[in-house]
Amino acid sequence: MSQRAHLILSWVIVALWTGVIFFMSAHTGSDFDGTGPLAAIKRWLVGLAAPVFGPDTDIVNVAAHFTEYLIFGVLLVVAARRTWPALGWGKLALVAVALASLYAVTDEFHQSFVPGRMCDPADWLTDTLGAALGAGTAVLALEKMLAKRQMG
């Protein structure tokens, strides 16, 4: 596969992931109380969190926001690296976090139109922190992988 194809594919994957985030934002947590794989994951997470945080804590919502954006941060670093290979690792991470945080603002705005959801600055912060961890992890992993490749 050519470098151009890799570049396009990396941004297509980013776009698909924004679709996943949009889909999840268009639903409330109770939408996933029935059957199916998302309901099973939610039940499993609630089962893990309830004994630690109490049954009324919506840790699943926080975990979902954080995880969605952690993955988003990783995907954005990969796409940004392919787009701007001359940028340093720190700048790539900053670009990824800035793009993810900006998308998180639009995501929270979108949620204000979803019945049962609201625009919550705490969710935006959780999203941004998740993206920062994902971007930082991706940068460290890619740096290590490229250093290994250069040595061998």
Three-class secondary structure of residue 44 per DSSP: helix
Report the pLDDT value the prediction gives residue 32, as an integer from 0 to 100: 54
pLDDT at residue 34, rounded to an integer: 67
Task: Give the whole-angstrom CA distance, residue 112 versus residue 97.
Answer: 23
What residues in the chain have per-residue pLDDT under 50? none
Q: How far apart are CA 152 and CA 149, in angstroms?
A: 5
Position 131 scores a pLDDT of 98
Dihedral (CA of 70, 73, 77, 78) sign = positive
Among 146, 41, 129, CA closest to 88 = 146
Q: What pLDDT was estimated at residue 116? A: 84
d(CA 147, CA 83): 20
pTM value?
A: 0.83
Q: What is the pLDDT of residue 147?
A: 86
Based on C-alpha coordinates, what's the Rg of the chain? 17
